[in-house]
Structure 1
Amino acid sequence: MSRALAALRTLRAFLAACLLAVTAGACAGERDETLVVLGPWTGDEGEAFEAMLNRLDDGTGRTYTYQGTRSLRETLVAQLEAGDPPDVAILNSVGELTEYARAGRLRPLPAAAAARAYPPWAPPLAVDGTRRTYWVPLKVDLKSLVWSREGQSAASPEWCVGLASQATSGWPGTDWIEDILLHQAGPDVYTRWATGRLRWRDPRVREAWTTWADLLGDRSKASVDQSLTMSYVGTPDPADKGGADPRGLLGSVTPRCTHEHQSAFIRYVYAGDPVRADPSAGFLRGRSAHDGAYEVAGDMAAVFSDDPAARTLVERLSGKTARTLWRSEAKEELRPFFPDATDPQPTDPTGRRIAAILTEKARTLCFDASDAMPPVLRDAFHRAVLQYFGNPTGERLDELLGQLDAVREDAAPDTGPGRLPASGVCAAPGG
């Protein structure tokens, strides 16, 4: 009888433990088999990426779920503060990624993924005395582009400007200034400025701002207000009853503008339209010696959890199989650009021309400077661009550059371990 009571008590204890741990699946020796990927793509882009994730099933029993948001930084910060970070996050700011690596939030990548961390998108960082790779580019974009309708003369362009972008308004203007500085002063000066080693009040940086204002020319108050409130993708097409599909700035600005400075991703807006993309160097009053330099951006995957499967997932996401699947799932005008020339690239005519610049023609690729800056400085840069656009006077510019220098000194005064190296901004194309 005593043995029966003892067995019953053991069974009760086991069942009680199961009840306490049931949400974690501990009774069956199970754990959460789903890896969470947080990323910036929504709509058709998000659906294509999620479809690729679903097709990556390798029979291990692990599944993947994708969370797409346009408020990526805010969402990630909230999850980190709640102690519930995603397993993998995809960010376009190496400044943010550097901060997370230095704070011990990121896990170094396995060798196979690190081997695909082509420059300048993913420089190794020296954290805790060891140089390691903490993120890898999944897709990349070319920013040094000017868009215009076929047959439109480049002699006297009327520039389209749309600076609104929800919480990150202003970045289309920072792209202008970055691209101008790169072509006027060259990659070395650009790198020093992007990494906080050059003052904002340096004459070369100041000249980039005034060149932008000169290129845009005199603008009426109505035109300025329109640019400050218009989205960078323009207004919805009136023919679209749902009001969802934008028609691009070239079809949205009144009176009609002729040229737009924008990243390669905008090609999806002009799919099917007679719109041409050209390298920006010829429009920016730069030195011909710097024509082979291009500003680029990227979406990088980093691991935020201790689950080894998350590191394996990033390795797979950066591999050829995932890229082939992603390309097959995306609409033609949304097919991503990849950093390796041997990877599948877009097949539409505009996409092929842009891919050739990224992987074959460019001598130097320089990562988006504001995305290389600490987030607090990047955000101040965004705000300053909006303020200068509304009042492009020399006095106002001097005030804004002084404010940016103050933020720079507070945000990046050190050269300690883990800081983004100067070599991590501009480099010859890799892959």
Structure 2
Amino acid sequence: MNARHGGPAPAVPTRRRGGPSRRLVRRLALVATCLAVLAAAVVVGVRALGAEPTVTLLANWTGKDERLFREAVIAPFEHKYHVRVDYQGSSAESQVLGAEVEAGTPPDVVVLTGPGELAEYARQKNLVALDGLVARDDFGPSWATPLADGHVYWFPLKADVKSLVWYPAGVDARQRAEAAKRPAQWCVGMGSGATSGWPGTDWIEDILLQQSGPRLYARWARGDLSWRSKPVRRAWTTWGGLIGAGGDRDLVRRVLKTLYGRASQPIATVPRGCTLEHQGTFIRKEDRWVAADGRYDPSARHIPGATGGDAWEVSGDLVALLHATPQAERLIRYLASPEAQRAWSAAESAFTVSAGAQPAAGSADSAWHRSLARVLRDGHAVHCFDASDAMPPSVRDAFAEAAIEYVAHPGHLEALLRSLDTLTDSPGLTWLPSVCDRTR
């Protein structure tokens, strides 16, 4: 029998010889009820007085990801430190955060993918510097980026590699090379709700990085290179040629209407509907790629004109502090700790760039996971943060919209690039000083 809300289902007393009278039972029940109400009031009062501290946290994990985050990260923190985490998950967290900041009720801690967005909040004095809470040496410079004031305002809870092309096991190198020349064999979906278009920006950024190198990529991501420059224009047209922008109407419609999370569903059809997907490491945990025993190539192998340099586009889920209560600071320290970094990486089959949280030699991780972990730790490689995530939010959003427009109407490219140049030159935008851990 299920208990009713408010406590266990009451037992029904039976009248026994020598037992209590009905009046006494009613009095006892009344006393019990009053005590329960009083206890609830005490709990509320204790919370109000701060004896049971609470920290508010906003992130983009919902559904299964939220459950995993609660189990792997939040629950151990609450148990260890006796601090309750009031978690809010939203797939439109940028919009939610903006509204809450505007209303004067921001969360204590936020996890965002965009350092450009966080830099704007820092400029507006909405973020608290993490000096004394997080050691800079624990994370590389492209992950915990010092701003112009010399302070660090965020650090990564999770990292991903984006310069990847996934394919099903059993598809050999010749077949992959042939598939890369056929637009219909690319699994592409531009849909993502309020953030639709970002899969296209990822493609264009990575193509620019592989064709023109990290130094030019970094200039562009900092707003110092025109969108109409030859290298940037070439990246757009290369992408358009790969996916068939403006070509077959059914293919274009599929690209525009498909949600990014469903783009690779055709790999499971017979005959296979698509073969290659340009996507970050996070896509490998999806059921279809697990079933297909997904493997990866560095994207440079399939990008026309790539120079073959060891440069990788990366991204991350970045933690920032908006309200410096003792419990919020404790959560920040915990999320930066090797303990939390390992727990979340294990739960998500993801990656950490924390120096103290790397897996031990001979770990049970799969071969693909170990190899990508090495990519993130490789001191000889160049790691450049996702350029659109690093751009000011207005430019990032316009870039995503332009990518959608370009798929349908590649002839509009000149106008789209001119508009992006105009927006980039707008006064008052906040640009990151660096997006790559080093340049060549």
1:390 Cα deviation from its structure 2 partner: 0.5
Going from structure 1 to structure 2, the CA distance change for 1:156 and 1:266 (only over 3 Å counts) comes to same
Matches within 5 A, 1:231-250: 231-234=259-262, 248=265, 250=267
8 Å Cα contact 1:183-1:287 kept in structure 2: yes
Match of 2:417 in 1: 401
1:252 Cα deviation from its structure 2 partner: 6.8
8 Å Cα contact 2:345-2:352 kept in structure 1: no
The structure with the largest alpha-carbon Rg is: 2
Going from structure 1 to structure 2, the CA distance change for 1:176 and 1:44 (only over 3 Å counts) comes to same
Going from structure 1 to structure 2, the CA distance change for 1:195 and 1:428 (only over 3 Å counts) comes to closer
How far apart in 1 are the matches of 2:63 and 2:358? 22
How far apart in 2 are the matches of 1:145 and 1:318? 27
User: TM-score, normalised to structure 1's length?
Assistant: 0.82
- Higher share of residues assigned helix: 2
Match of 2:384 in 1: 366
How far apart in 2 are the matches of 1:34 and 1:208? 47
Letter in 2 for 1:398: E
Asked if residue 355 in structure 1 is aligned to residue 376 in structure 2, the reply is no
Number of positions where the alignment pairs a residue of Structure 1 with one of Structure 2:
382
Match of 2:127 in 1: 106
Match of 1:427 in 2: 437
Match of 1:410 in 2: 426
Matches within 5 A, 1:255-270: 256-269=273-286, 270=289
* 1:7-48 Cα distance to aligned partner (Å, 9 max, x none): xxxxxxxxxxxxxxx999489853661111111111222112
Please state whether the residue corresponding to 1:84 is helix, strand or coil.
coil
How far apart in 2 are the matches of 1:86 and 1:254? 48
How far apart in 2 are the matches of 1:325 and 1:279? 27
List structure 1 segments (4+ residues) > 6 angstroms apart after TM superposition.
252-255
Letter in 2 for 1:34: T
8 Å Cα contact 1:294-1:366 kept in structure 2: yes
* 1:315-338 Cα distance to aligned partner (Å, 9 max, x none): 21111111233345x2xxx32210
Identity of aligned residues (%): 40
Note the aligned Cα RMSD (angstroms).
2.6
Match of 1:298 in 2: 316
How far apart in 1 are the matches of 2:201 and 2:427? 18
8 Å Cα contact 1:327-1:344 kept in structure 2: no
Going from structure 1 to structure 2, the CA distance change for 1:309 and 1:72 (only over 3 Å counts) comes to same
User: TM-score, normalised to structure 2's length?
Assistant: 0.80
1:120 Cα deviation from its structure 2 partner: 0.7
Going from structure 1 to structure 2, the CA distance change for 1:180 and 1:28 (only over 3 Å counts) comes to closer
1:80 Cα deviation from its structure 2 partner: 1.3
Please state whether the residue corresponding to 1:426 is helix, strand or coil.
coil
Please state whether the residue corresponding to 2:116 is helix, strand or coil.
helix
Which residues of structure 1 form unaligned runs of 5+? 1-21, 236-246
Asked if residue 46 in structure 1 is aligned to residue 63 in structure 2, the reply is no
1:58 Cα deviation from its structure 2 partner: 6.2
1:112 Cα deviation from its structure 2 partner: 4.6
8 Å Cα contact 1:35-1:62 kept in structure 2: yes
How far apart in 2 are the matches of 1:309 and 1:143? 34
1:342 Cα deviation from its structure 2 partner: 4.9
Of 298-307 and 248-257, more deviation after overlay is shown by: 248-257
Matches within 5 A, 1:167-182: 167-182=194-209
How far apart in 1 are the matches of 2:397 and 2:111? 19
